Amino acid sequence: MTGMHHGNVAVIGAAETTGLGVLPELSMIQLHAEAARNALADAGLTTADIDGVATGGPMPMEVSHYLGITPAWVDGTMVGGCSFMLHVRHAAAAIASGAATTVLITHGESGRSRVGMSRYAVRAPDTVSGQFEVPYGALMPFATFTVPALRFLHKRGMSRTDLAEVVVAQRQWAAGNPRAFRRKFRKMAASPFAFYRGSAPLFYADVVRLEDPWADERTSRVWIQGDLHAENFGTYMDAAGILVFDVNDFDEAYLGHFTWDLRRMAASLAVLGFAKAMSDEAIERMIDTYGRAYLEQVRAFSTGDRDSEYRLTLENTEGVLHGVLMRARLETRVGLLDATTSVEGAERHFSSGAGVRRLEDDERAEVEHAYEAYLETIPEVKRQHSVSYSVKDVIGRAGFGIGSAGLPAYSLLVEGRTQALENDVVLSMKQGNVAAASRVVDDEAIGAYFEHPGHRTAVSQRALQAHADPWLGWCSLRDVGQVVKEVSPYEADIDWGQVTDLDEVFPLLEYLGQATAKVHCVSDAGSEQTLVDFQTEEAIMAVMDSREDEFAADLVRFGRAYGELARDDHRRFVDSFRNGRIPGVPAD
């Protein structure tokens, strides 16, 4: 633009709405106005200083009238998501030509709440889009952006690596948004373990540079949980009605070195053990116990023929883990429903309360449409009685754990196995996130296998968890991948705050090693994945080659060293955060 205006035009203010995320209390025009007023304040201007307005979505005169501006120049160019880049160029030209002196450019989209916005357009069959795009699914950003991008790369002899530079640049800009990171950083600052839980991408950036003598062509390409640490284990009710203790939380699941799961777990034990003031010798023994139990179970899978029947249950566990299963057994579906729903007349609905957002009709229709597509992803062997799956109520929610804090989500109340109210089921439809391990796995075939992060999460869980949630599936909502699963009343986790005696710790870690071996070696009956076409247990045993002692010692060394590094990183992180040394993210 320099040649257009000879360097005499500048951007002097920029801002966003005061609140971020899902804002059902603000309409589309109110979002425009609030961000506009904040940008004017940032520039030290008022509406009286504005004589030009550019926007897309609403007409520029609508925004002008709402803000009390009488513009001499307007621009309502609308070409999709890039409209506002054109507005900047048009505004510079208008200023250079004397048509305007100060131009306000606004954008506001109630994309999730749909307040003050129409439903997404449906292409009529007699339009060009209806004839040549709709029949082939070439709609919305996933097609309209990627097709020309691939054409661009092809014509210029470029690769996806070149395109990745755009992503890197975008993340650098995003880092300048302090509010987008402050909440997560506060949680991570709480303790070294909380920091470790929330920094999986850092772990993979470190571990991918290390030599891995246990990784060959097969063992470097197995299904992994992706964020395995001491708090990612718990109970669930399987499709046969059996309470099972297993690895949980598959948001980061992907394919990679089997050792990545073990190393991440080992380092978490080192961080946890240090927090409990355990000696170095005790910490080493903890990691060794876990690693050897893992190898012993993998060996058992490699020599047995009934792997799918193996599970940790009330019948074959004791100690702390048995206590966790007993705690889950005491929970009831009615208890969960009473805590989150209420019955009015003869119908059950979600109760209002903190974190609950009621949906407008258009948004609910979109969620239910996505839900119908999700039903098609449930494997035939998992299908339930025909009375199941009818939707009774839908609400919006937001806010999850440290690793995926703030991802938008919906809760759906659906009919269970019978029409009895106590059998109703609560489902979660949550936006999938990009797996941390995928950032370091350079294999296009793996990335191309998944439709979106929600699909990747569900497929990975079925590949990793035998007897997986029969409600597990995926869908797409407004072109964003979602993972759908039951909110089970029978979920209970290890309370590490109550596990202090080493006589309790070591037997528990043996179970955790066995559970880790199971997710690596035993898939669900509904898993139809084709990415791993070999027996993982055989591949791991082959690379071991009777070197179990060497492997255990290697795991102990890594866990001790990386646990110490994580504690140091946490200290540096807190020091940098509280003193405002993280670029663009002030602590206060």
User: Does 63 share its domain with 139?
Assistant: no
Q: Of 25-34, 372-381, 399-408, which range is least confident?
A: 399-408
Q: Give the model's pLDDT for residue 446.
A: 94
User: Does 114 share its domain with 133?
Assistant: no
User: Does 163 share its domain with 113?
Assistant: no
Q: Give the model's pLDDT for residue 109.
A: 79
User: Does 35 share its domain with 114?
Assistant: yes
- Mean pLDDT across 400-424: 76
Joined tokens for residue 305: 């023929």
Q: Is residue 67 in a domain?
A: yes
Q: Give the model's pLDDT for residue 357.
A: 85
Q: Is residue 32 in a domain?
A: yes
Q: Is residue 8 in a domain?
A: yes
pLDDT surpassing 70 at residue 120: no
- Mean pLDDT across 91-115: 85
Contact between 227 and 198 (Cβ < 8 Å): no
Q: Give the model's pLDDT for residue 372.
A: 95
User: Does 39 share its domain with 129?
Assistant: no
Q: Is residue 381 in a domain?
A: no
Q: Is residue 551 in a domain?
A: no
Among 135, 155, 174, the domain boundary falls at 174
Joined tokens for residue 476: 């797409």
Between residues 182 and 273, which one has the greater pLDDT? Answer: 273
Q: Is residue 555 in a domain?
A: no
pLDDT surpassing 70 at residue 141: no
Among 80, 96, 118, the domain boundary falls at 118
Taking CA atoms, 320 is separated from 46, 124, 480, in Å, by: 64, 61, 40
- Mean pLDDT across 189-195: 95
Q: Averaging pLDDT over each range in 3-17, 103-117, 144-158, 505-519, which range is the top one? A: 505-519
pLDDT surpassing 80 at residue 308: no
User: Does 126 share its domain with 70?
Assistant: no
DSSP notation for 252-298? T-EEE-HHHHHHHHHHHHHHHHHHTT--HHHHHHHHHHHHHHHHHHH
Between residues 7 and 155, which one has the greater pLDDT? Answer: 155
Q: Kindly report the average pLDDT of the chain as a whole number.
A: 87
**pLDDT confidence band for 2 (50 / 70 / 90):** very low
Q: Give the model's pLDDT for residue 540.
A: 97
pTM above 0.75, yes or no: no
- Mean pLDDT across 558-573: 97
Which residue segment(s) compose the domain that 150 sits in? 122-174
User: Does 1 share its domain with 100?
Assistant: yes
pLDDT surpassing 60 at residue 108: yes
Q: Give the model's pLDDT for residue 190.
A: 93
Q: Is residue 28 in a domain?
A: yes
Indicate the pairing of strand 473-477 with strand 408-414.
Answer: unpaired
User: Does 70 share its domain with 133?
Assistant: no
DSSP alpha helix (H) spans, 311-431: 319-329, 333-340, 361-375
Q: Which amino acid is at 1?
A: M
Q: Percent of the chain scored above 70 by pLDDT?
A: 88
User: Does 63 share its domain with 105?
Assistant: yes
Q: Averaging pLDDT over each range in 240-244, 253-257, 478-482, 576-580, which range is the top one? A: 253-257
Q: Give the model's pLDDT for residue 3.
A: 46
**pLDDT confidence band for 203 (50 / 70 / 90):** very high
Rounded CA gap, 177 and 585, in Å? 7
CATH assignment at residue 9: 3.40.47.10
User: Does 67 share its domain with 141?
Assistant: no
Q: Give the model's pLDDT for residue 247.
A: 95
**488-514 confidence digits (pLDDT tens):** 999 999 999 999 899 999 999 999 999
pLDDT surpassing 50 at residue 91: yes
Contact between 321 and 505 (Cβ < 8 Å): no
User: Does 110 share its domain with 8?
Assistant: yes
pLDDT surpassing 70 at residue 177: no
**pLDDT confidence band for 546 (50 / 70 / 90):** very high
Q: Is 411 exposed, middle or buried (0-12, 13-18, 19+ CB in 10 A)?
A: buried
Q: Give the model's pLDDT for residue 26.
A: 81
pLDDT surpassing 80 at residue 319: yes
User: Does 135 share its domain with 60?
Assistant: no
- How many domains does the structure of the chain reveal? 2
- Mean pLDDT across 109-115: 65
- Mean pLDDT across 333-344: 92
Among 118, 133, 152, the domain boundary falls at 118
Give the 3-state secondary structure of residue 36.
helix
Q: Give the model's pLDDT for residue 460.
A: 95
Q: Is residue 52 in a domain?
A: yes
Q: Which amino acid is at 435?
A: A
Residue 63: closest CA among 85, 37, 43: 37
- The torsion of the CA quartet 579, 582, 585, 588, rounded to 10 degrees, works out to -10
Between residues 200 and 42, which one has the greater pLDDT? Answer: 200
Between residues 536 and 165, which one has the greater pLDDT? Answer: 536
Taking CA atoms, 485 is separated from 22, 71, 459, 492, 561, in Å, by: 22, 51, 12, 16, 37
Q: Which residues contact 174 (CB under 8 A, 6 or more apart)?
A: 180
